[in-house]
Amino acid sequence: MRYYLYVSGSKLDMLYEQIPPKLLKRLAVEAKVDLKVLSVAVQSSPRAEAGTYDRLDIVEKYLEREFDVSWMTEPRPWFRGDLGLRIAGYGAADRPTFMTGREGDTVIALIGSAHHLIGQRTAVDTIQAAYSNLPSLFQLLHDAPDGRPQANRQSPLRQVLDFSKSLTVPPVYSEFLARRLLHGTVTGEDGRELEVVIGTPLYVAMADGDQEQGA
Residue 113 in contact with residue 132, Cβ under 8 Å? yes
Q: Where are the beta strands (DSSP E) in 40-133?
A: 70-71, 78-88, 96-103, 106-113
Whether residue 46 is preceded by a cis peptide bond, meaning omega within 30 degrees of 0, is: yes
Q: What is the pLDDT of residues 176-195, one digit of tens each?
A: 999 999 999 998 888 889 99
Q: What is the pLDDT of residues 88-126, one digit of tens each?
A: 876 666 778 899 999 999 999 999 888 888 876 555 554
Judge if pTM exceeds 0.75: yes
Buried b / exposed e across 106-136, counting CB within 10 Å, b at 16+? bbbbbbbbbbbbeebeeeeeebeebbbeeeb
Which of helix, strand or coil describes residue 133? coil
Residue-averaged pLDDT of the chain: 80
